[in-house]
Amino acid sequence: MSGSLWVAWAHAELMKSVSFWDVKETAKGSWLWRKLLKLRPLAASFLRTEIQNGESSYFWTDDWLGTGRLIDETGELGPRYLGVPRHALVADVCESGVWQMRSRGRRVFPDTYDRIENARRPDESLGRDVIMWKHDDGIYKDQFSSARTWDQLRIRGHEVSWHHLVWFPQGVPRQAFIVWLAIRDRLSTGVRMRSWGLTQGCVFCGERDESRDHLFFACPVTYTIWTTLTAHLLGASANPDWTITVASLLRPNRPKLDTILLKMVFHSSVYLIWRERNSRRHQGPCRSTHTLIGQIDKAIRNRISSLKYVGNHKLAGLLTRWFEVYSR
Ligand SMILES: [Zn+2]
């Protein structure tokens, strides 16, 4: 990943030689980039740097002492008291094995100062610093593992009621991720972007306030998509309200196949509506409601086929059931 064109572009265009941790959240960059910036506090708790030559680790914003980021410890006063600039690299602060810090810093931040004094010095003969990713409590490795990371997140975050609506065996990870963000109301909708000085109405109906609740599915256009696909499964209990929709999907007393299908419709709808919203916002192609419904139906059929529930598998009737509850 570090050698990819995308990373090079992000360095040149978005970061401008500032630490990733200090990049300001603006409208610049793709939706994914802005999302990555928002996830920084979470990522920071998994990352640690092992100092070698100290030339790729930021003194204040990388965890190179194994005790967290120094800037979180001292606040913005730290750089001034220690006389170390905010964007300094660890290598910049050490000359011939001697740390170059103001002695005034020792009086104000004695513990921090001591820890730095006792830390291993950067050495140019050692090569690049090593970025370590947390695999478990106290265990760091120089490779990223999504499985180990997910385990830790899962243990840390308590089981929430919507857990089963986001993560289920028939789900598609990229869709589940968007649903997860939607449930936590973390999608960058117009209402959220307004705090950064941008105005964005609904690209489907023109409503001024584009919020998560409007998109799913208070908007007349997306509500048409949702009710067309769930007419049989939800019937009269369909509702444009987000909270009521989520609660009704979590209702336990529904046949198993219908529960799975409803979650699949929900995931595909949220994902494809969000993708269409981004496409329209960036002057991409504009698909009709009819086309979108067709795409969601196709996504569900393709997913069920790929699961290969055949013979006497207990979910073998999933595709047949989908054809029963939804036919174009
Ligand atoms: Zn709308």
In three-state form (DSSP H/G/I as H, E/B as E, the rest C), the secondary structure along 184-249 is: CCCCCCHHHHHHHCCCCCCCCCCCCCCCHHHHHHHCHHHHHHHHHHHHHHHHHHCCCCHHHHHHHH
Residue 16 has pLDDT above 80, yes or no: no
Query: In angstroms, what is the span from residue 304 Cα to ligand 1's centroid?
Result: 30
Share above pLDDT 90 across residues of the chain, in percent, rounded to a whole number = 42
pLDDT of residue 96: 87
Query: In angstroms, what is the span from residue 222 Cα to ligand 1's centroid?
Result: 7
Q: Which of 34-38, 292-296, 308-312, 314-318 has the lowest mean pLDDT?
A: 34-38
Q: Is there a contact between 83 and 165 (Cβ–Cβ < 8 Å)?
A: no
Residue among 233, 240, 235, 239 at smallest CA distance from 261: 233
Q: Which residue did the predictor score with more confidence, 319 or 43?
A: 319
> Residue 66 contacts by C-beta under 8 Å, 6 or more apart in sequence?
48
Query: In angstroms, what is the span from residue 223 Cα to ligand 1's centroid?
Result: 9
Q: How confident is the model at residue 270 (pLDDT cuts 50, 70, 90)?
A: very high
Ligand 1 is an ion; its neighbours by CB within 5 Å are 202, 204-205, 207, 219
Strand-pair category, 139-141 with 130-136:
antiparallel
Look over the chain and give the mean of its residue pLDDT values, rounded to a whole number.
85
Over residues 128-138, the mean pLDDT reads 80
Over residues 192-206, the mean pLDDT reads 80
pLDDT of residue 2: 47
Per-domain residue ranges for the chain? 39-153, 163-325
Query: In angstroms, what is the span from residue 185 Cα to ligand 1's centroid?
Result: 17
pLDDT of residue 313: 92
Query: In angstroms, what is the span from residue 44 Cα to ligand 1's centroid?
Result: 36
Query: In angstroms, what is the span from residue 298 Cα to ligand 1's centroid?
Result: 24
Query: In angstroms, what is the span from residue 218 Cα to ligand 1's centroid?
Result: 7
Q: What is the pLDDT of residues 75-123, one digit of tens each?
A: 888 999 999 998 899 999 999 889 999 988 888 888 888 889 888 899 9
Query: In angstroms, what is the span from residue 327 Cα to ligand 1's centroid?
Result: 26
